[in-house]
Amino acid sequence: MTDPVPAPSVADRTGPVLVVDFGAQYAQLIARRVREAHVYSEIVPHTISPTELAERRPAGVILSGGPKSVHVEGAPEIDPGVYDLGIPVLGICYGAQLVAQQLGGTVANTGIGEYGRTELTVADRGVLFGSTMPDTQQVWMSHFDSISVAPEGFTVTASTNQTPVAAMEHVERRVHAVQFHPEVVHTPHGQQVLEHFLYDVCDAPPAWTMGSVIDAQVELIREQVGDARVICALSGGVDSAVAAALVHKAIGHQLTCVFVDTGLMRLGEGDQVVETFQKHQRIELIHVRAADEYFAKLSGVLDPEDKRKAIGELFIRIFEKTAGGIEDAAFLVQGTLYPDVIESGTATAAKIKSHHNVGGLPEDMQFELVEPLRSLFKDEVRKVGTELGLPDEIVWRQPFPGPGLGVRIIGEVTPEKVDLLQRADAIVREEIRSAGLEREIWQAFAVLPDIRSVGVMGDERTYGYPVIIRAVTSEDAMTADWARLPYDLLERMSNRIINEVDGINRVAYDVTSKPPGTIEWE
């Protein structure tokens, strides 16, 4: 390690805390925890060079955990030049071992790993453990190799039974490392450890709030679009709604929203979109009532893929026709979120203006994209929505597929079936809400299969449709589990649906997780 360079002053470190990704899910969680401490953070790939890193003027750098051992050939590394930039560094788990290895310490393959809850003994409070934390505390460990010897100049600040160097620091160089995971909830004092790094080592003020996000985006949107006209397709979903409200705050009447009412939305949803955006937010809104066109197009279409395709194509045609009538529209608002940006591997290219074709829109419709949410996680988008005055019904709306109820009606989609399903579905969601489960359940809805069965009501034989209730818990829709709804709640839903929706005489509950099922039925 060379002599420390003079550290850049706080005034020169006005950028985000950069979380270096070593290839697992850890980086996202760390970035979220940093943001929860009101410090803005972004994820960068470990291939970032010290020069590129310094250009971002980061308040600090966090090296995340990763799935590999530092001893494995091809294990991801960061250019050790980052330690000489004078920018504060915190290594976590794999990141801690990398700090040790790259700065001349020893990482040993002891054959004894630590997994799960582990007792940590703080020997020296140093900077990260502050003055209020207990000397022994529980931390979450997940490692196979251990740092056995800290690099020269480092003070060992904590250990465990199996790990002599569970935390270490070099205060002058502002390089810190912890073997445990401060970002997980199983490390009860973890957030405090992170906050000590952010506030006391990085000197980053806790100034990143949803209010500051809105102010910054308003400026950026104005700068990007000037006095041009901007359009936005509203779907009723939270992302497009918040994006539209944010752009509207920035440029007011320059924004026109297009809401294609397919007739395949949930009960009352179309009216609610119009009410919220036109009446309350006073956003210029073109409300295209296209239900008849959709039913005509879907007549006789039975195959799920054909249905999706038909619905998608019609949307594009209607949107194109409507947008074509808006003169000089040069920009299109997209509700892209940060996880999409990370997944597509373009995190560092976030500032590049895209001039490309979006969401299947025809080649000759060229828009520059306005993506005001591309640095935000979903829960942050919800907070921004609330701050912008959007109602809970929109901000906390559950995910809803683009093709709408079209993929929840098995077989041909007809106005009559949509009406039955909308009413049954409204009851399911109402009961979930009354039971206080709305935010716990990822999605809860009704499905209308293409069968009928015999029943009896008031001495009369019935021959009606069944409704299937689908309720799942999930983190990200990639996997899902069927929700263990209380029997009395299911009973209430069932009774109400059968009594209130004429034509439905049976209710079933879907107990399939994903995989092997999917959340939607088509």
Q: Which stretch binds ligand XMP (CB under 6 A): 95-103, 183-191, 238-246, 399-407?
A: 399-407
Q: Is 378 in the site for ligand XMP (CB under 6 A)?
A: no
Residue nearer to ligand XMP on the CB measure, 401 or 466: 401
CB contact at 8 A, 61 and 90? yes
Residue nearer to ligand XMP on the CB measure, 187 or 262: 262
Q: Which residue type does 329 have?
A: A
Q: Is 518 in the site for ligand XMP (CB under 6 A)?
A: yes
Q: Is 262 in the site for ligand XMP (CB under 6 A)?
A: no
Q: What is the largest CA-CA distance in the chain?
A: 91
Beta strand pairing call for 136-143 and 58-63 = unpaired
CA dist., res. 4 & res. 400, Å (int): 53
Residue nearer to ligand XMP on the CB measure, 164 or 236: 236
Q: How far is the CB of 109 from ligand XMP (least distance, A)?
A: 41
Beta strand pairing call for 229-234 and 255-261 = parallel
Residue nearer to ligand XMP on the CB measure, 63 or 444: 444
Q: Long-range contacts for 115-120 (Cβ within 8 Å, ≥24 apart)? A: 115/141, 115/142, 115/143, 116/140, 116/141, 116/142, 116/186, 117/141, 117/186, 118/160, 118/161, 118/162, 118/180, 119/160, 119/161, 120/158, 120/159, 120/160, 120/166, 120/167, 120/180
Residue nearer to ligand XMP on the CB measure, 80 or 399: 399
Q: Is 399 in the site for ligand XMP (CB under 6 A)?
A: yes
**Which of 15, 91, 403, 406 is the binder for ligand XMP (CB under 6 A)?**
403
Total residues in contact with ligand XMP, by rule CB under 6 A: 10
Q: Which stretch binds ligand XMP (CB under 6 A): 15-23, 212-220, 272-280, 400-408?
A: 400-408
Q: How far is the CB of 444 from ligand XMP (least distance, A)?
A: 11
Residue nearer to ligand XMP on the CB measure, 67 or 402: 402
Q: How far is the CB of 359 from ligand XMP (least distance, A)?
A: 10
CA dist., res. 435 & res. 113, Å (int): 44
Looking at the DSSP bridge assignments, the partners of residue 480 are: 514
Residue nearer to ligand XMP on the CB measure, 147 or 241: 241
Q: Is 401 in the site for ligand XMP (CB under 6 A)?
A: yes
Window 498 to 517, contacts with ligand XMP (CB under 6 A): 514
Q: Is 217 in the site for ligand XMP (CB under 6 A)?
A: no
Q: Which stretch binds ligand XMP (CB under 6 A): 195-203, 286-294, 327-335, 395-403?
A: 395-403
Query: Which tokens belong to 70?
Result: 């530092």
Q: Which stretch binds ligand XMP (CB under 6 A): 75-83, 111-119, 264-272, 401-409?
A: 401-409
How far is the first Cα of the chain from the last one, in angstroms, to the nearest whole number? 59
CA dist., res. 409 & res. 420, Å (int): 10
**Known catalytic residues?**
93, 181, 183
Window 410 to 449, contacts with ligand XMP (CB under 6 A): 443
Q: How far is the CB of 515 from ligand XMP (least distance, A)?
A: 9
Percent helix, strand and coil across the chain, each to the nearest 5: 35, 25, 40
Cα angle 307, 312, 315; round to 5: 125
Q: Is 164 in the site for ligand XMP (CB under 6 A)?
A: no
Q: Is 520 in the site for ligand XMP (CB under 6 A)?
A: yes
Cα angle 63, 64, 69; round to 5: 100
Window 477 to 496, contacts with ligand XMP (CB under 6 A): 477
Residue nearer to ligand XMP on the CB measure, 60 or 403: 403
Q: How far is the CB of 254 from ligand XMP (least distance, A)?
A: 27
| Burial of 493 (C-beta count, 10 Å sphere; 0-12/13-18/19+) | buried
Give the count of beta carbons closer than 10 Å to the beta carbon of residue 158: 28
3-state secondary structure of 342: helix
Q: Which residue type does 285 have?
A: L
**Which of 8, 23, 402, 449 is the binder for ligand XMP (CB under 6 A)?**
402
CA dist., res. 31 & res. 41, Å (int): 5
Q: How far is the CB of 399 from ligand XMP (least distance, A)?
A: 4
Where does 344-486 have alpha helices with state H? 378-387, 392-395, 415-434
Please give the residue ranges that form the binding site for ligand XMP (CB under 6 A). Answer: 399, 401-403, 443, 477, 514, 518-520
